[in-house]
Amino acid sequence: MKPIIAITMGDPCGIGPEVIVKGLADCGGDLSCFPVVVGSLSWMQQAAARFAPGLAVRPIRTLSDAHFDRAIMNVLDPEPESFEGFVYGQPNPNAAMAAWKALDHAIDMALLGHVAGMTTGPIHKAQMHAIGFPSPGHTEYIANRAQSTAFGMMMVGGGLKITLATIHLPLKAAIAALQEEQLMQMIRLTDRALKTDFGLSDRHIAVAALNPHAGEGGRFGEEELRLILPAITQAKTEGLNVSGPYPADTLFYRLKQGQFDAAIALYHDQALIPIKVLAFDQAVNITLGLPFIRTSVDHGTAYDIAGKGFAHAGSLVSALHLAQEMAEQRLKTPPATEA
């Protein structure tokens, strides 16, 4: 039986619906998973008619109603209603609420084991926060719903796997938030993911430095000596194959060359810059430490091009393919979620 992956609609006023229908129309027959879209039926129907006219929409009330075929998109609407007032590219609090409801329903299905995992469409963080969304983003919210206290974000693309030690924080706050135990947790989560989700028996993880030239022995900063090196040393005592800290200006080149299996980046842009340079339309965001699989597109709602037909579905397709590969691998190596 192929794994079922729930795809959340994301913000309907953004490019989420467009990339979903385009992605399923382009790759549906190539998937070895069963995708089910969770979101507004009426909005997904008009998105299919507009951006993927060959894709039929099948409304379903339960997963047992689904019919999996390349030319069919199964849509499960948690609260059927019309969204005629929505306009592509125009923020709308009701659109943010629709995205939230779809997300919660997909999480519920994953927690109950009805789906192997989920691939999330983009939400607009400012709009979500305006309606009371309690977390900085998808990652933190899903982890909280899953009661996962040890979780992390890994970016995959362009031949790179990079885990973020800090996520959605201003740079000054991210540096202040770095702690030895936090780095240890990210190293453990990354090692477990490489084994459980990617099937690697021999795993080598590199840790990036924060400062130029890895601090130059303290001359250009002391975080390497005070925080990063002690975390690496402790990880080695636990039997983990980890090394560093390596200057960030050369680490990701070495990662691309295959000298390491994954790297730990210390702040958001340190990870995202190399990923987006190498795989701007193909990158995938993974949440580590969950009892189920979660992958996501690596882009936002892109209100500026929403509804214009310009959106590229590559990241959505990559996220679906990666979710199915992870699901197949987990059947071989069941995951442990405690760090």
Q: Domain coordinates of the chain in residue numbers?
A: 1-149+292-339, 152-288
Over range 285-302, report the average pLDDT.
94
pLDDT confidence bin for 339, thresholds 50/70/90: very low
* Mutual angle of helices 314-332 and 16-27, in 10-degree steps: 60
Separation between Cα atoms, residue 269 and residue 282, nearest integer Å? 17
Over range 38-58, report the average pLDDT.
93
Measured at the CA of 230, the angle between CA 228 and CA 233, to 5 degrees, comes to 110
Q: Which residues pair with 295 in a beta bridge?
A: 119, 286
Residues constituting the chain: 339
Separation between Cα atoms, residue 81 and residue 25, nearest integer Å? 25
Q: What tens digit of pLDDT does each residue of 133-146 get?
A: 999 889 999 999 99
Separation between Cα atoms, residue 63 and residue 58, nearest integer Å? 11
In sequence order, which ranges of 112-179 are alpha helices (DSSP H)? 125-130, 138-145, 171-177
- How distant is the alpha carbon of residue 132 from its chain centre? 22
Q: What tens digit of pLDDT does each residue of 77-101 get?
A: 988 766 667 899 999 999 999 999 9
Q: What tens digit of pLDDT does each residue of 27-41 get?
A: 756 777 899 999 999
In this structure, are residues 114 and 76 in contact, taking their beta carbons and an 8 Å threshold?
Answer: no
Fold agreement (1-149+292-339, 152-288):
yes
Q: Which residues pair with 243 in a beta bridge?
A: 206
Using only the alpha carbons of the chain, give its radius of gyration.
20
> How do the residues of the chain divide into helix, strand and coil, expressed in percent and rounded to 5?
45, 15, 40
Report the mean per-residue pLDDT for the chain: 91
Q: What tens digit of pLDDT does each residue of 190-245 get?
A: 999 999 999 999 999 999 999 999 878 888 889 999 999 999 999 999 999 999 99
pLDDT confidence bin for 334, thresholds 50/70/90: low
pLDDT confidence bin for 281, thresholds 50/70/90: confident
Architecture of the domain defined by 152-288: 3-Layer(aba) Sandwich (3.40)
The CATH code that applies to domain 1-149+292-339 is: 3.40.718.10
